[in-house]
Amino acid sequence: MQRSLLDFCRSVAAWIRGGLRLWVSALGLIGWLLVLPTVQAAKIGNVSESHWWGQALRFGSLADPSVRYALAGAVLLGLACGLLGAFLVVRQMALVGDALSHAVLPGVALGFLWNASKDPVAIFIGATLAGLLGTLTVSAITRTTRIKEDTALGMVLAGYFSLGMCLVTRLQKLPTGNQSGITSFLFGQAAALKPADLWLMGIVCALVTGIVVVAYKELLLVSFDPVFSRVCGLPARWFDHLLMVLLAFSVVISLQAVGVVLVSAMLITPAATAGLLTDRFHRLLPLSALLGVTAGIMGAFLSFLGSNLPTGPLMVLAASSGFGLAFLFAPRRGIIARWWREKSQSHRIARENTLKAVFHILEEAEFRSDVVSLLQLADRRRITLKISEREARMLVSHQLATMGADEASLTLTPAGWQRACEIVRNHRLWELYLTQAAQIPPDHVHDDAERIEHVLGADAVRELERRLSFAKYDPHGRPIPSLADLRRGGEKAPRPTTVAGYGK
């Protein structure tokens, strides 16, 4: 026992060492960029073709029946796991999937023992029963004691899995043990799939898809608001049990290809990825299934390229790479999109601050001229001439200002003038509002207004104006730019110094 556990640890370590390389190749494949030397290095064992592309061609041609079986298995399990995983993830039951998948192992071993051969039906029955028994154990623990669900799940997961490991090692010592291929149930080997396995997978997959399609409405309501579903007359508990049984079925049919250890990732990862891409369940569900199928195909393909590698980790790596891509590049929630939004917002604020500085300079000169030199701007903003030049160019590139012929002065365009007026008006309105409505002393309001001025929308400004009864001066006695100023645009005529505020 000790020795085989040691072997087990060693093989895990070997897989982890191999993992780095696998990451690279999985990533590369998903981006359709196969890294040639990496894949060649990963290719070991009894491969008849000498080049990776030859292997890929063999895979693509589907001439090899074992390729067809592996591919069909991967598609079926990706579909079933993707669909049910979506429910698990939105119900915050990801750990339940993990516990269930580990709890099936003793059942797998006993299924083997039943007639000392790999009979898919015996294994299916044994594994399903063990998995359901595991979830029943969890609910028995949480109902009768004060132990919380996560603790119960963790204990049951480990307990059942340990029992399963003991049984499996015992099995391997039996005369028939070694050729029985029970180790493929630990880490998965899609190439070991037989037509009988595929029949079982096909039936379960059809069952899962059929039920999810027919009872979509019921499963959605039971997942979102179980109490309300009972007021609607739905047998909520019955649907919960149905979901659990389907889950157990899907886990069990996936064992052969993905393995006990990793099958929960095929439930969770595609659904979590889909969750990054959409926030509507009716889109999340098919997307999760599609991602599951894609990960399954990728895993089968990569496993075929390096033919001795287990399928399970490769499928999960493919699914994880998908998640990584979505995490980075998702159109709205990806970190790159978010970074881009934040960056463009900070650029906009920088531009608006420059516009404001130009306005202040013009205002100090009582609007006698509409040209501002970059030196003045640098002085006003307390920045170097070089930076003020860069800021000026930013305005020019956004058509907010034009540069003088000497490249040392700046004139606002009508759009720039309007935006500058708006910002200054927002700032001064907000200062006035804070001093009047919130009784904040005038020397405390500037910093707050510096932030608010960039985010006040048109509606909020109208509301402020109404509440301040269209005031003309800010708390520091400076005029608040009026609508007339905004419309004045690029008029060259000097602005009368006394004119300010609204009401004309």
Bridge partner list, 501? none
C-beta of residue 109 within 8 angstroms of C-beta of residue 168: yes
List, in sequence order, the alpha helices (H) in 145-235.
Answer: 149-173, 184-187, 195-214, 216-224, 226-231
**Smaller CB separation from another protein, 227 or 458:** 227
- Cα 454 from chain centroid? 30
CB of 108 to another protein, least distance (A): 34
Q: Which amino acid is at 138?
A: V
Q: Which stretch binds another protein (CB under 8 A): 167-175, 178-186, 215-223, 355-363?
A: 215-223
- Largest Cα–Cα distance of the chain, in whole Å? 104
CB of 54 to another protein, least distance (A): 44
- Told to check if 284 binds another protein by CB under 8 A, we report yes
- Told to check if 193 binds another protein by CB under 8 A, we report no
Cα separation, 68 vs 139, in Å, equals 40
DSSP string, 314-357: HHHHHHHHHHHHHHHH-TTTSHHHHHHHHHHHHHHHHHHHHHHH
Short-list 478, 477, 495, CA closest to 486? 495
**Smaller CB separation from another protein, 170 or 230:** 230
Which 8-state DSSP code applies to residue 93? -
Q: Which residues, numbered 324-383, are part of the site for another protein (CB under 8 A)?
A: none
- With CB under 8 A as the contact rule, the residue among 199, 228, 470, 473 that binds another protein is 228
Q: Which stretch binds another protein (CB under 8 A): 198-206, 231-239, 430-438, 474-482?
A: 231-239
- Cα 400 from chain centroid? 38
- Told to check if 275 binds another protein by CB under 8 A, we report yes
- Told to check if 218 binds another protein by CB under 8 A, we report yes
Which 8-state DSSP code applies to residue 117? S
- Told to check if 220 binds another protein by CB under 8 A, we report yes
The alpha carbons of the chain give a radius of gyration, in whole angstroms, of: 33
Q: Which amino acid is at 206?
A: A
C-beta of residue 261 within 8 angstroms of C-beta of residue 312: yes
Query: Which residue's entry shows tokens 């340990």?
Result: 162
Number of residues that bind another protein (CB under 8 A): 26
- With CB under 8 A as the contact rule, the residue among 57, 232, 387, 438 that binds another protein is 232
**Smaller CB separation from another protein, 333 or 478:** 333
**Smaller CB separation from another protein, 175 or 233:** 233
**Smaller CB separation from another protein, 279 or 366:** 279
CB of 416 to another protein, least distance (A): 34
- Told to check if 17 binds another protein by CB under 8 A, we report no
- With CB under 8 A as the contact rule, the residue among 90, 207, 290, 483 that binds another protein is 90
- Told to check if 142 binds another protein by CB under 8 A, we report no
CB of 229 to another protein, least distance (A): 7
Cα separation, 471 vs 278, in Å, equals 46
By the criterion CB under 8 A, which residues form the site for another protein?
A: 90, 92, 214-218, 220-221, 223-225, 227-234, 275, 278-281, 284
